[in-house]
Structure 1
Amino acid sequence: MSKPVFVLLHGAWHGPKCWDRLIVELEKAGYSASAPALPSSGSTPPVPDLKADIDIIRSMISKLAQERDIVVVMHSFSGLAGGTALEGLDKAACFSKGLKGGVVRLVYLAAFLAQEGSRLFPPGAEENMKSYIDMWRLTASYAKGMFYQDLDDHEVAELAKDLQTQSLGSFQSATTYAAWRYIPTTYVECTRDRPATLIGQRRLLETAKESGTHKIDRIIKVDSGHFPFISKPEWTAQVLIEEAGREVRVIAQR
């Protein structure tokens, strides 16, 4: 069987460039990866919700599923759009439509493991959200504490130059589907993430498992900050390849 392709979904304030180091490592191992630009980050004018992100994700994966199996990797905020966008794109559903591929595994990297109806902020929180977002967008020192905890200051300053604006409406948009209920799922917990975020990761896992049907079958811990694929690209690539390989072996045995 051919190797699955990785679809890499970036989080808030970032773009596809944040995946560059990881893509290099995946390609060294003979794997291909696609990293779409999600409109909730960097759009002018800003988008009102997550619909544009969801549409781009669905379009890319629907095309890939014509021929390829897919591992979807979500980082941070993209767990909301990614988890919603995959309805009907799992391997079994795609096979029933006569397609050769489909999504065989999800990997959440310190990402929002959101249940149906989840949103990051409630409607009416625009003013507080705006000041919060502007701090993240403009201040490299703030970005280090929030995003790049295990990187040196020089590297953080360079990474901060690529931070983008984030559409406020994307934080108020509610999810409608939870793909991790239906597709085998790996969660990567970053233990050097900021304390509140680490607590949030663990709480999301706990509540997801308690909420009913799920396919969360792997939890991996890594000694890294919020961006293991920047600080530890070789390690991240190895983990993704191992997770993809497990799915290929399972499918081959059926």
Structure 2
Amino acid sequence: MTWPGLVLVHGGAHAADCWDLTMAELSRCAPELRVLAVDLPGRASRPADLATVTIADWVNSAVADIDDAGFDDVVVVGHSMGGLTVPGIVAKLGAARVREMILLAAFVPPQGSSVVAALRGPLVPLARSAGRIQRSFPMPRALARFAFCNGMTREQRELTLSRLCMESPAVIFEPADRSGLPNGVPRTWIMTLRDRALSRRQQLDAIKSLGGIDTMVCLDACHDVMFSQPARLAEVLAERCRRHARDRS
């Protein structure tokens, strides 16, 4: 059996290393699965000016990484602000290569709107401040702990907070454009039920903005479930990929 490649796209204030624990669990529960966690431009392995980077820059970089990895067909996962990038990745790769799009507690503003315009909850003041000062700055530790880490052990919380990074002040004000998103790609939503950054209602609003989904998976977890419940998340992702495995003998 040949599995599709699994592509993991991080969200705001995170980098590819946020998936390390989940990737380790995937290697145990699905060793045949090839996994790629991308760094979007502005992270350590992809230097860029965060003040001017665009969603298109992120999309193009991720697609180049996927091609460089030699992935023919893929399942693409986007966490949090990955909801801005993943639809563009899917559109650029096309339905012929994307077996499934998975959005994990993702920010998906209405078409033509921005994250800031649609955002509710504890991250609103920080997002609006980013627009006023127009430069990147670190997320306050106390805010990140509240928004991302509820229910974690001390070790999980410290690891999560140690890996936070600077974010673009421009992308969150950029209008979302999903006009090229193909209809033929199955859509799965992983809802985090104890999420403080993106409440259940906001996630349902995001699903509506997306135009609906095919599958819903609910996890009793905080926003950064890849740190708090990596084994359970790995099981879900492996199962979604397993559905698209093909016998090519």
Kindly state the Cα deviation for residue 52 of structure 1 after the two structures are TM-superposed. 1.8
Partner of 2:122: none
Q: Could you say which structure has the greater relative contact order, defined with CA pairs below 8 angstroms and 6 or more residues apart?
A: 2
Partner of 1:46: 50
**3-state SS in 1 of match to 2:76:** strand
Is 1:108 paired with 2:110?
no
**3-state SS in 1 of match to 2:12:** coil
Structure in which a larger fraction of residues adopt helix: 1
Distance of 1:177 and 1:15 partners within structure 2: 23
Q: Quick check: 2:13–2:139 contact (8 Å CA) kept in 1?
A: no
- Distance change (3 Å), C-alpha of 1:131 and 1:22: farther
Can you give the 5+ residue segments of structure 2 that lack an aligned partner in the other structure?
118-124
The one-letter code matched in structure 2 to 1:137 is P
Kindly state the Cα deviation for residue 243 of structure 1 after the two structures are TM-superposed. 1.1
Q: Quick check: 2:131–2:170 contact (8 Å CA) kept in 1?
A: no
Can you give the 5+ residue segments of structure 1 that lack an aligned partner in the other structure?
93-101
Distance of 2:161 and 2:234 partners within structure 1: 23
Kindly state the Cα deviation for residue 149 of structure 1 after the two structures are TM-superposed. 1.4
Runs of 4+ more than 4 Å apart: 40-44, 130-134
When the two structures are superposed, what TM-score results if normalisation uses the length of structure 1? 0.79
Distance of 1:104 and 1:37 partners within structure 2: 22
The one-letter code matched in structure 2 to 1:20 is D
Distance of 2:133 and 2:142 partners within structure 1: 14
1:31-70 equivalences in 2 (<5 Å): 31-40=33-42, 45-48=49-52, 49-63=54-68, 68-70=72-74
The one-letter code matched in structure 1 to 2:89 is A
Distance of 2:198 and 2:236 partners within structure 1: 25
**3-state SS in 1 of match to 2:27:** helix
**3-state SS in 2 of match to 1:187:** strand
**How many residue pairs are counted as aligned between the two chains?**
233
Is 1:248 paired with 2:248?
no
Partner of 1:5: 5
Partner of 1:22: 22
Identity of aligned residues (%): 24
Kindly state the Cα deviation for residue 47 of structure 1 after the two structures are TM-superposed. 4.2
1:1-254 equivalences in 2 (<5 Å): 1-28=1-28, 29-30=30-31, 31-40=33-42, 45-48=49-52, 49-63=54-68, 68-92=72-96, 102-121=97-116, 128-129=129-130, 137-177=138-178, 179=181, 181-194=183-196, 197-209=199-211, 216-248=213-245
Q: Quick check: 1:71–1:103 contact (8 Å CA) kept in 2?
A: yes
Kindly state the Cα deviation for residue 113 of structure 1 after the two structures are TM-superposed. 3.4
**3-state SS in 1 of match to 2:3:** coil
Q: Quick check: 2:77–2:101 contact (8 Å CA) kept in 1?
A: yes
- Distance change (3 Å), C-alpha of 1:163 and 1:180: farther
The one-letter code matched in structure 2 to 1:103 is V
Q: Deviations over 1:83-115 (max 9, x none)?
A: 1232242343xxxxxxxxx11001111012345
- Distance change (3 Å), C-alpha of 1:57 and 1:208: same
When the two structures are superposed, what TM-score results if normalisation uses the length of structure 2? 0.81
The one-letter code matched in structure 2 to 1:68 is D
Partner of 1:96: none
Q: Quick check: 2:78–2:104 contact (8 Å CA) kept in 1?
A: yes
**3-state SS in 2 of match to 1:80:** helix
Kindly state the Cα deviation for residue 208 of structure 1 after the two structures are TM-superposed. 3.3
Distance of 2:194 and 2:73 partners within structure 1: 32
Partner of 1:98: none
RMSD of equivalent CA atoms: 3.0
